[in-house]
Amino acid sequence: MLDLRMKKTLALVAAWLPFLVLWLIFGMQMGATFRQAFPRSLFAIGSAAILGLAVSKLCATMPLQLRPRFHLLHISAAALYAAMWTGGMLAYEGKAVPRSLLSVWFIEGVWIYAIIAGASYAFQTQRRALQAEKSLAVARLGALRSRLHPHFLFNALHTVGALVRHDPAEAESAVEKLGDMLRYTLRDGESDVVSFAEEWEFTRRYLEFEQLRYGERLRVDADIDPKALACSAPSFALQTLVENAVHHSIDRRAEGGNIEIRAKTSGESLQIRVRDDGGRGDGGQGTGDSNGYGLNALRERLQAVYGASLNIVRDDNGFEVSFTIPCDD
């Protein structure tokens, strides 16, 4: 793997290569042989590129603006650049050259300066746009996380409240399990991505927590590919799907239901699927309740981080939600 400095060097060489080819062709059309034209072209473009580094730094310190001082500075810098480049070409020739050729070199130097400055400002504009887009995405994810945690806590406290009324002993156990889960919820609030092993362990604890409330009504069939545990995933992603299934398939039916959890790798992708047997209910979708919000928030996070979608399938046999993301370890 190439380091960042090497990548930048290769990109710079690639950017100047077309100019080298054009200069070589122009020299050969003027009657020079390849062996004569190539060294001259290599020196001309190489020196232009080296001087161009100073131009790029100047553009970085002088933001693009429509002011007389800005234009005066670049006119002066272009003249200096062209003079230095012309002097280098004269030194390379090692002999007296016609004044007309010196004028041509000077004009070409100004032209090269203009290309370098224009490209530098174009890259600056693109970089600022990308940074603004990234900042917007980070702010959006932060807003989603700040609402997702209260969403989880609301439902967890609702479960504890139900147990307090019916089984105080189980409620005490639930509070202890809730404390364990809160450590995961409140740790490293800046990170939106965790290892899937951590996410699965948290989801497993969540299911144990809900098992205290629902007992035999909650039946879980989990199939987790060991390779999937090495991947990374958005925090609360799997837990959100499972929580939605619990409230859709278990909470709304006296007989309870089954929940299938599948996580596997396929090539360089991680595929996660959660299915319940709740039939054609809406699973909290479109009802405005907290479960529907959980899926909507997860959909936005997947789109913002991975450009991935949340796939939802409803039929007479159940409700299924799945997504596929890159398996980054």
d(CA 135, CA 126): 14
CA 193 to chain centre: 11
Q: Which helix or strand (DSSP H or E) is residue 327 part of?
A: none
> Residue 153 falls within a domain, yes or no?
no
Rounded to the nearest 10 degrees, what angle do helices 168-186 and 196-214 cross at? 160
Q: Which of 4, 44, 47 is nearest to 23 (CA)?
A: 44
Gyration radius of the chain over CA positions: 32
Indicate whether 284 pLDDT > 60: no
pLDDT in tens, 162-220: 778 777 777 777 787 777 777 777 665 556 788 999 999 989 988 888 887 788 889 99
Q: Which of 78, 99, 130 is the last residue of a domain?
A: 130
Of 177-191, 220-234, 271-285, highest mean pLDDT: 220-234
Q: Which of 98, 113, 130 is the last residue of a domain?
A: 130
Neighbouring C-beta atoms of residue 248, cutoff 10 Å:
25
Do 125 and 197 fall within a single domain?
no
> Residue 305 falls within a domain, yes or no?
yes
> Residue 320 falls within a domain, yes or no?
yes
Who wins on pLDDT, 329 or 33?
Answer: 33
- What pLDDT, on the 0 to 100 scale, is given for residue 9? 77
Indicate whether 151 pLDDT > 80: no
- What pLDDT, on the 0 to 100 scale, is given for residue 140? 57
Who wins on pLDDT, 124 or 50?
Answer: 50
d(CA 152, CA 148): 6
- What pLDDT, on the 0 to 100 scale, is given for residue 136? 55
Q: 32 with 24: CB under 8 angstroms?
A: no
- What pLDDT, on the 0 to 100 scale, is given for residue 263? 96
Indicate whether 288 pLDDT > 50: no
Q: What is the mean pLDDT of the chain?
A: 81
Nearest-5° angle of CA 297, CA 303, CA 306? Answer: 125
> Residue 18 falls within a domain, yes or no?
yes
Indicate whether 240 pLDDT > 50: yes
Q: Which band of pLDDT confidence, cut at 50, 70 and 90, is reported for residue 282?
A: very low
Do 109 and 199 fall within a single domain?
no
Provide the domain limits for residue 265: 191-326
Number of domains in the chain: 2
Q: Which of 130, 146, 161 is the last residue of a domain?
A: 130
Task: Decide: helix, strand or coil at residue 173.
Answer: helix
pLDDT in tens, 60-91: 888 787 788 888 999 999 999 999 999 998 88
> Residue 208 falls within a domain, yes or no?
yes
